[in-house]
Structure 1
């Protein structure tokens, strides 16, 4: 069965089961790196916020033999966990002061997001771009965000420099950075079922070296690679590590830090990043295909001969 037909079948089955004025409808969006994803919006007459539930992974399960009825039941169970039972006052978006303290940012690959970057305010950082969003809510279920677009800052009469200034203050309070030993968190951050990725890491980095490797992310592990642009974070990391270090963009959600003295050469690092991106990371979560380098004495993040002071 083709994916489009699968989506239509799920929509039809969902609407047969939904009650109380609820309705399921198809929803498509272009995500990070130009990837289009299709899902379902389960809308209620009571509330003006509805989660988007993407169907690509459900389609994979269907291809492996899972029935449509079971998939629909799993979607409904997931909805019960993530549904929002309150309205969001969209009028707040019209006034900058109402959202000023909820503005945060994430990092995206500049080359892979050319079209999106034409439509949103952004700041370049080497071959990456800092883009902004409103952190509407965050809890143990996840987070709700609104992408900030050019029309927003035009309505607010603010510039991108003001966004960045406010966001740098907010992220330290709302989603602070986390630096952890990799040996303590690798099985939590890398799905235990992904044995290929674990084997690859073991091959490239012997067990005795893992105590010198770190994971850098944020407190919710969502868009956590953005901590690269947090004020003073890389400088603080260099004090803990005690020397220059390489940064491996594991995904848009985190980066791996490796002291220069414990690291393979740059060619091997880049080969590993490319292999992991191609085999283990979803395409919309890829940040970059090469390592970065932080020079402790000059407080400089660099890529090849490109330099960026943080």
Structure 2
């Protein structure tokens, strides 16, 4: 993919220069996935942050001029972000959150200088919400410029996660998606109690499973020990513990990851036990 984007980039550079824009190759790594794109810089904007548009299959259907025009419109519609606010202590305290990744991401995360903590099951990273959909993972170099101790950073992130915690039944989630009450949409009620754990934005909400508050809520419905299924980075599913269904649940997780979940959103192929001591690998 990198070669395709670089070849396209070289053809588009002179076209962009005529319009007052400069193009560069851009790349990001998300959860083992490498995304290639084009950074577009407006020579009339005095900023050190420029948008990067990442490759999508539909690019192949556009001419160089059409793609450039789309990128120009994208950068013109991109919100103006004052990066100084990221280093404001009050802003930081309200916008920092945790996220979790599978342990096999550790080498990549370390190379990217991203701050993380390691548990027996997951890596815990921290990020800032910088726009409605955008986030910025917190690196060591960024954190050095914040007047907050690392311990306080962790406390703030988990306090924000707790404020935004959402635990719903699977029926409630389906009702939201279909925008009709569950019993009116023609789907039979599930026999098994299934709960979905996430956050209000449904963005990197899987980290909510490590909150003590999540356990306290779910134990009222599922008992003192239950199973966590990693649906994606954005949500997890909790079901009651039944010894005779463990292998079946592992198969379900792996099947869903293979056929439904995008690689960039995949959390884990395992299932986990949640009890009063915390979360541990089950299968």
TM-score, normalization: structure 2? 0.78
**Corresponding residue for residue 54 of structure 1:** 54
Distance of aligned partners of 1:75 and 1:272 in 2 relative to their CA distance in 1, 3 Å threshold: farther
| Structure 2 gaps, min length 5 | 178-186
Per the alignment, do residues 209 and 93 of structure 1 end up closer, same or farther by CA in structure 2, a change over 3 Å counting? closer
Q: Is the 8 A contact 1:38 1:56 kept in 2?
A: no
SS at match of 1:250: coil
Residue equivalent to 2:170: 182
Q: How does 1:6-17 map to 2 (within 5 A)?
A: 6-9=5-8, 12-13=11-12, 16=15
CA drift of 1:276 comes to 2.1
- Matched pairs, number: 272
What is the CA–CA distance in structure 1 between the aligned matches of 2:73 and 2:245, rounded to whole Å?
44
Q: Indicate the residue corresponding to 1:40 in structure 2.
A: 38
> Are 1:209 and 2:193 matched, yes or no?
no
User: Partners in 2 of 1:136 and 1:106 — Cα distance?
Assistant: 15
Give the C-alpha shift of residue 210 in structure 1.
6.2
User: Structure 1-normalised TM-score?
Assistant: 0.72
> Is 2:138 the partner of 1:148?
yes
- CA distance in 2 between counterparts of 1:42 and 1:24 reads 5
Determine the structure 1 residue equivalent to 2:184: none
**d(CA) in 2 for partners of 1:150, 1:249:** 28
Q: Could you tell me whether the CA contact under 8 Å between 2:128 and 2:137 is conserved in 1?
A: yes
Gaps of 5+ in 1: 190-205, 306-310
Change (3 A) 1:245 1:231: closer
Residue of structure 2 in register with 1:108 after alignment: 101
Q: 1:113-132: CA deviations, max 9, x gaps?
A: 32313622222232201111
CA RMSD of aligned residues (A): 3.6
Question: Aligned partners of 2:68, 2:176: CA distance in 1, in Å?
Answer: 27
**Cα contact 1:109–1:287 (8 A) shared by 2:** yes
Q: Equivalents in 1 of 2:196, 2:130: separation in Å?
A: 26
Mapped contact 2:40–2:71 kept (Cα < 8 A): no
